[in-house]
Structure 1
Amino acid sequence: MTGLRKEFPRISVKTLCGLFGMTPQAYYKKKKTLVSRRQIQDTMLSFVQYYRSKDPGIGGLKLYNELCSVYGSGLIGGRDAFLNLLRSRHLMLPPKKPRHTTDSN
């Protein structure tokens, strides 16, 4: 829908929305939500890059707890959503290898 809006700037939003069976109100609400969600994700990723530059070995859960204590959980959102964002951007650390010791028995 946004692509069509850019391609046909002289056609009204109401007409374009009517083609897809949605209301202009729904278009603007979705547009506002998508922009703010992307901005929040970009902000979180910049925080992650900053903290990882200081401590490259910090894991996702400790990173989430650190960001919540500094910036509050309202900005960061839920733990699982935060970890899914890190996974989708390939920012999770690889799991530690298990260490085996000698068993004398």
Structure 2
Amino acid sequence: MKEIYHEISLTTICALFGRSRQGWYQLAENKGQKQLQRTLVIEQVRQIKSELPHIGGLKMHSMLQKFLSAHQISMGRDAFFCLLKENNLLVKPRRLYARTTNSFHHFKKWPDLVQRRKAIMAEEIWVSDITYLKTKKVLSILV
């Protein structure tokens, strides 16, 4: 605020926000200290990531507890995850799925004989499904 409004005194600005001048200077001091702590943590994380690139955030947070306490840095799990996210240091999860449906094949496509009608009695409508099981050799199909 003081950088924007040069003509207004710091005392007036602090009174507008219900803060003291001492609080203003403490805020400025803490801002620099927090930035230094964040930089220290990021550098430590990058060092760990160079050795273990696929390590998760929870494991890394537990590994850094001694480092954080030695440097008198208090950072909880959520703040640590936010810091990692801001700096693109989180492990990106891989999407694991099997592509099972191919509707654009040259085989005969059977029509829907049920046509969404309700069954009147037991065992009137029978349906089946295909289950795909992935093995080490090939994708097996069970009918």
Q: TM-score, normalised by structure 2?
A: 0.55
> Cα offset for 1:17?
4.3
The runs of 4+ residues in structure 1 deviating greater than 6 Å are none
- Structure with bigger strand share is 2
1:14–1:84 distance in 2 versus 1, CA, 3 Å: same
2:58 aligned counterpart, secondary structure: helix
Query: Which is greater in Rg?
Result: 2
Matching residue's letter, 1:35: G
The answer (yes or no) to whether the contact 1:76–1:82 under 8 Å persists in 2 is no
Whole-Å Cα distance in 1 between the matches of residues 12 and 67 of structure 2? 42
Q: Does 1:84 find its partner at 2:53?
A: no
Residue 67 of structure 2: aligned partner? 71
Q: Which piece of structure 1 moves more, 71-80 or 30-39? A: 71-80
Whole-Å Cα distance in 2 between the matches of residues 12 and 42 of structure 1? 33
1:56–1:91 distance in 2 versus 1, CA, 3 Å: same
1:77 aligned counterpart, secondary structure: coil
Q: TM-score, normalised by structure 1?
A: 0.71
Q: Which runs of 5+ in 1 are unaligned?
A: none
Whole-Å Cα distance in 2 between the matches of residues 51 and 30 of structure 1? 31
> Cα offset for 1:37?
0.9
Matching residue's letter, 2:67: Y
1:2–1:89 distance in 2 versus 1, CA, 3 Å: farther
> Cα offset for 1:12?
6.5
May I ask how many residue pairs the two structures share in their alignment? 101
2:73 aligned counterpart, secondary structure: helix
Q: Which piece of structure 1 moves more, 71-80 or 51-60? A: 71-80
CA RMSD of the aligned region, Å?
Answer: 2.9
Q: Which piece of structure 1 moves more, 31-40 or 21-30? A: 21-30
Matching residue's letter, 2:92: P
1:34 aligned counterpart, secondary structure: helix
1:84–1:99 distance in 2 versus 1, CA, 3 Å: same
